[in-house]
Structure 1
Amino acid sequence: MFPPTPPIPEELTLVVDGLTYAGLAFGPVDAPPVLALHGWQDNANSFLQLARALPDVRLVALDLSGHGQSSHRSADATYQIWDDLPQLVGVLDALGWAQCAVLGHSRGAIIATLLAATQPERVHTLITLDSMLPRPAKDEDFAKTLRAFLKDRTALLNRSPRQFASEQAFVERRARMGEPPLVSTVLADRALKPCDDGFAHRNDPRHNGASAVRMNEGQCISVLQALAMPVLNIWATPRQGLEDDIARQRALIAENVPNVTSVDIPGHHHWHMEPEPAEQIAAAIRHFLV
């Protein structure tokens, strides 16, 4: 079994290409290295429970750019799923990791997959939680997607951060969007900063906008076929309303990833942040890493 409370992490700050990446480090410095990438609108705190259940690895969980305590990108930059890749390579260099396992959840799983596909010499193992690919776009939607991006960018670029009267108000808002209160409670510490009227959301509002470009199915297949390392693909079940999308994604993964292990663990999309499912996920990871 695991300790009763999450371990106290080390705070990390790494500057790469002028961007500050904040993060949390867990475990012995000489243990097998694991880079953990969180999902959309989450932060490094999302890996607290998994770190507790994986005491024998050196797990570094980042706040990705525009999330938590990490830098926002400049006004001329974007938050496409590939935009963090050059800096993530720089993070590995700064950590002194020639190779590591990469663990990602949701949007972070997609970024982790892109990193592994393009940097196989740096990523010896890929572990994805409840995602691996974006939903493939239709070629005929390219112009419409780009138009939506330009419209959203204009609207969001100068938008002030959302404010909350209290941390509880933040938790309640995310609960109204269907998220278990435990999840937003765990995230709140890194998601909010004090302001005159209570708390302001740290995340860059541009993360709420449309993507400029979305990968089509052929590009997704190209990425999957480039994954030469062992891949562990863990899914939360059931995912009501997304059955067809997930079934298609899993079919593409099974057909195109040379060395993939797929595991189903009951729970909601953020189930890795709750103690019992986190232990089940960690057990699958430990078994896979042996």
Structure 2
Amino acid sequence: MTAQVQEIRLNLPHIELAAHLHGPEDGQPVIALHGWLDNANSFSRLAPRLPGLRIVALDFAGHGLSAHRAPGASYLLWDYAADVLLVAEQLGWERFSLLGHSMGAIVSVMLAGAMPERVERLALIDGLMPYTGEAEQAPAKLGEALRAQLALAGKRKPVYAAIDRAVEARMHGTGGVSREAAELLAERGLMPVSGGYTWRTDSRLTLPSPLRLTRAHALAFAQAVKCPAMLVLAEQGLLHTEPRFAGLVEGLALEVRRLPGKHHLHLDDEAGAQAVADCFNPFFAVP
């Protein structure tokens, strides 16, 4: 499915973010947030199937065509939430909805829980809560992160001789994606370098988290969501295979739909994108 897409830049006080703009100017305002190491092309199949929405599909900081954070800055989930809020401010959107996949869904839940007065609706795809850690694990977790930061200067990104090689590597990356999905992500995610191509993403994105929310913290954000929320779960996705999520979804005030497909079901093929759209269109149409 093809539709007119506008490339835009958003100059926040601390960073410039890139985004795709979909839909009519008078459509319902929606900010779309992709997953870890993905980019705005994550929504290239789904967004055209959501008529009536004005969708700003961001490249998160450090991803796609967006700038990398300054030296010494971090890529913590709440940093992304602050970026999204500043994007809404720049767009003049007092109230807006969030469409999030994977890490983007997690950031959406955190922002909606923290700022319920700003978020109209939550449309989530195979993502809900971050990986958690308890207090007794915190010292070891911080030590792991600090050691990785010290070692980062000596590491180099992989360079692929041809785009096809990079596409194949992405197919077997986090969550696994179809070839067509990997090609779409590569369109926006690769850059030419000496010897071939490498990913634009900031190398710091692969560092371990210095601190994780406890399960109680993560649950508190999900329970603080006040707006209507729908979660589409992929039957072969990451949440389906995670025992820590067993029984969690049923205890939250959100509508859950289970669809066949893997973690990137909205991007892997046209049928998956349409199935997700068939869930979200009635959800956004409710006054």
Which position in structure 2 is the counterpart of 1:219? 217
CA positional deviation for 1:157: 4.8
Q: Report the secondary structure of 2:192's partner residue.
A: strand
Give the aligned residue type for 1:182. E
CA positional deviation for 1:253: 3.5
Note if contact 2:116-2:225 (Cα within 8 Å) is conserved in structure 1. yes
Which of 23, 38, 44 pairs up with 2:40?
Answer: 44
Deviation above 4 Å: which 4+ runs of structure 1? none
CA positional deviation for 1:146: 0.8
Note if contact 1:157-1:206 (Cα within 8 Å) is conserved in structure 2. no
Which of 189, 192, 195 pairs up with 2:193?
Answer: 195
Which of 86, 90, 93 pairs up with 1:90?
Answer: 86
Note if contact 2:239-2:245 (Cα within 8 Å) is conserved in structure 1. no
* 1:282 to 2:286 alignment: no
CA positional deviation for 1:99: 0.8
CA positional deviation for 1:91: 0.2
Alignment partners' CA distance in 2, 1:79 and 1:107: 12
Alignment partners' CA distance in 1, 2:67 and 2:45: 25
Question: How many pairs were matched up?
Answer: 282
Note if contact 2:233-2:239 (Cα within 8 Å) is conserved in structure 1. no
Which position in structure 1 is the counterpart of 2:142? 146
Which of 263, 270, 280 pairs up with 1:269?
Answer: 263
CA positional deviation for 1:240: 7.8
TM value normalised by structure 1: 0.92
Note if contact 1:161-1:202 (Cα within 8 Å) is conserved in structure 2. no
Q: Answer with 191-200 or 266-275: which moved more.
A: 191-200
Could you say if the C-alpha distance between residues 151 and 242 of structure 1 is closer, same or farther in structure 2, counting changes exceeding 3 Å?
farther
Q: Answer with 191-200 or 32-41: which moved more.
A: 191-200
Alignment partners' CA distance in 2, 1:141 and 1:240: 23
CA positional deviation for 1:167: 1.3
CA positional deviation for 1:242: 5.4
**Unpaired segments ≥5 residues, structure 1:** none
Which of 218, 231, 237 pairs up with 2:229?
Answer: 231
Note if contact 1:231-1:260 (Cα within 8 Å) is conserved in structure 2. yes
Which position in structure 2 is the counterpart of 1:16? 12
Note if contact 1:235-1:265 (Cα within 8 Å) is conserved in structure 2. yes
Which of 106, 110, 113 pairs up with 1:110?
Answer: 106
Give the aligned residue type for 2:261. G
**How big is each residue's C-alpha offset from its partner over 1:145-169, in whole Å with a ceiling of 9 and x where there is no partner?**
1111111122225644432222111
**Identical columns (%):** 33
**How big is each residue's C-alpha offset from its partner over 1:22-47, in whole Å with a ceiling of 9 and x where there is no partner?**
01000101111111000011000010
Could you say if the C-alpha distance between residues 222 and 202 of structure 1 is closer, same or farther in structure 2, counting changes exceeding 3 Å?
same
Q: Report the secondary structure of 1:193's partner residue.
A: strand
**Unpaired segments ≥5 residues, structure 2:** none
CA positional deviation for 1:214: 0.7
Give the aligned residue type for 2:255. T
Q: Answer with 192-201 or 93-102: which moved more.
A: 192-201
CA positional deviation for 1:17: 2.2
**How big is each residue's C-alpha offset from its partner over 1:254-287, in whole Å with a ceiling of 9 and x where there is no partner?**
32x3x31000010011111021111111111011
Alignment partners' CA distance in 2, 1:47 and 1:65: 17
Which position in structure 2 is the counterpart of 1:58? 54
Q: Report the secondary structure of 1:49's partner residue.
A: coil
CA positional deviation for 1:190: 0.9
Note if contact 1:232-1:288 (Cα within 8 Å) is conserved in structure 2. yes
Give the aligned residue type for 2:276. I
Note if contact 1:124-1:230 (Cα within 8 Å) is conserved in structure 2. yes
Q: Answer with 54-63 or 130-139: which moved more.
A: 130-139
**How big is each residue's C-alpha offset from its partner over 1:220-268, in whole Å with a ceiling of 9 and x where there is no partner?**
12111210111101100034895343xx42623332x3x3100001001
Alignment partners' CA distance in 1, 2:84 and 2:210: 21
Give the aligned residue type for 2:204. R
**How big is each residue's C-alpha offset from its partner over 1:37-92, in whole Å with a ceiling of 9 and x where there is no partner?**
00011000010011121132111100001101111111211111111122211100
TM value normalised by structure 2: 0.93
Q: Report the secondary structure of 1:82's partner residue.
A: helix
CA positional deviation for 1:180: 2.0
- Give matches, 1:172-211, under 5 Å: 172-177=168-173, 178-211=176-209
Note if contact 1:161-1:204 (Cα within 8 Å) is conserved in structure 2. no
Give the aligned residue type for 1:107. M
